[in-house]
Amino acid sequence: MKINRATDYGVRLMVYLAACEGRVVPRAEIASAMEIPPEFLAKIAQHLAKAGLLEIRQGRAGGYRLKRPSQEITLLEVVEALEGEIALNLCVGHPESCRFSPTCKVHLVWEAATEGLRDLLGNIYLANLIEKKAKSDEEVG
Amino acid sequence: MKINRATDYGVRLMVYLAACEGRVVPRAEIASAMEIPPEFLAKIAQHLAKAGLLEIRQGRAGGYRLKRPSQEITLLEVVEALEGEIALNLCVGHPESCRFSPTCKVHLVWEAATEGLRDLLGNIYLANLIEKKAKSDEEVG
DNA sequence: AGTAACTGGATCTTTTTTATCTTAAATTTT
DNA sequence: AAAATTTAAGATAAAAAAGATCCAGTTACT
């Protein structure tokens, strides 16, 4: 019951991009800053791109960039882009996988827990997750 | 981000035992009723026994039985007996595993989500999960 | 054209999960 | 005490998933 490494990396990637505000960031920079194996990062980025969460620029000054504003991308989207829809047990979302699920009270618990988790992650936006750079009027004023 | 099969089986086992109200239930019966490979079930039961959740009777009329009343055993205990303490990401419970965690806002999210999940499971008791047999005064009114 | 940067698919290694096999021990019945 | 039944505990194995890497090909800037 853990997210996998790819998801962890993917979240780091997205948060890093959010902090870069629209700049096209080369993969090597992210890999080094976030301590992610660069080749693995490439794969993760490709998934996130297919899910419409980031934009890939190929060619000489290529790299990655968020596709949408960081205020509009939730952690849930990032996680589910990489792991598929969250389901804490097989029977969640696939009741047919378990003969007992129609009458099973545990099934209901897994569903409730899954929903709770999805709700929580669905209310957190990348913008909430970046360390705010000190801005003059915030910092001094 | 799923419980594993052993945990699913373990929960079924515990709920089945809860429904059997203190009877010593042979492994074969549980395995067959709950559709769990018997040898695998044995391993799971051993774990749960070590965690003090069930009692194993060896020998001829042997089998398994809850160690404590079903009103006092939570789903959280069962899950954590089999998977270790729930932690949705490596960094939860082991902040030293990630260089970034001291300042990482995502870390806080994983912690909050983990706590949410543990709370939910910690408030559900085996007794809540068994199908009540129709009792005359409940059923007929 | 030349170079820098990413793609997409294949491959490979390691780890985890799931399951089984085997010998031994415990307990009840005869 | 012997026999029958039932589980223990450790080893092993098979399958699946996770994590990582490689490379030929493509894109785009200068």
Condensed to tens digits (0 to 9), the pLDDT of residues B64-74 reads 999 999 999 99
Is strand C in 7 Å reach of the CB of A63? yes
pLDDT for B49-99, tens place per residue? 999 999 999 999 999 999 999 999 999 999 999 999 999 999 998 888 899
Number of domains in chain A: 1
Record the tokens describing residue A66, joined without a space.
């968020």
Record the tokens describing residue A58, joined without a space.
């190929």
- B141 within a domain of the structure (yes/no): no
Is strand C in 7 Å reach of the CB of B40? yes
Is strand C in 7 Å reach of the CB of A49? yes
Burial class (CB in 10 A: 0-12, 13-18, 19+), B135: exposed
Protein-covered nucleotides on strand D (Cβ within 7 A): 3-11, 18-23, 26-30
Chain A residues closer than 8 Å to B2 by CB: 1, 87-90
Phi, psi of B54 (to 5 degrees): -140, 170
- A139 within a domain of the structure (yes/no): no
Round to whole Å and give the CA distance between B125 and B70: 7
Record the tokens describing residue A64, joined without a space.
């990655």
Specify the CATH number for the domain of residue B28. 1.10.10.10
Per-residue pLDDT at B132 exceeds 80: no
Identify the closest residue of chain B to A126 by CA–CA distance: B106
B131 pLDDT band (50/70/90 cuts)? confident
DSSP state of A86: -
Asked if residue B24 lies in contact with residue B62, where contact means CB atoms within 8 angstroms, the answer is yes
Chain B residues closer than 8 Å to A87 by CB: 2
- A108 within a domain of the structure (yes/no): yes
Is strand C in 7 Å reach of the CB of A5? no
pLDDT at site A138: 46
Percent of chain B's residues with pLDDT above 90? 84
Round to whole Å and give the CA distance between B128 and A73: 38
Residue A141, SS3 per DSSP: coil
Distance from CA of B134 to the nearest CA of A (A): 15
pLDDT at site A108: 96
**What value does the mean pLDDT take over residues B102-124?**
96
Per-residue pLDDT at B135 exceeds 60: no
pLDDT at site A134: 56
For chain A, list residues with pLDDT below 70: 133-141
Which stretches of A24-136 are assigned E, i.e. beta strand?
Answer: 54-57, 63-66
Q: Percentages helix, strand, coil for chain A, rounded to the nearest 5?
A: 50, 10, 40
Round to whole Å and give the CA distance between A108 and A43: 35
Question: Can you give the distance from the CA of residue B38 to the C1' of nucleotide C20 in angstroms?
Answer: 10
Protein-covered nucleotides on strand C (Cβ within 7 A): 2-10, 17-22, 25-29
- B140 within a domain of the structure (yes/no): no
Domain containing B18 equals 5-132
- B111 within a domain of the structure (yes/no): yes
Chain A residues closer than 8 Å to B83 by CB: 1
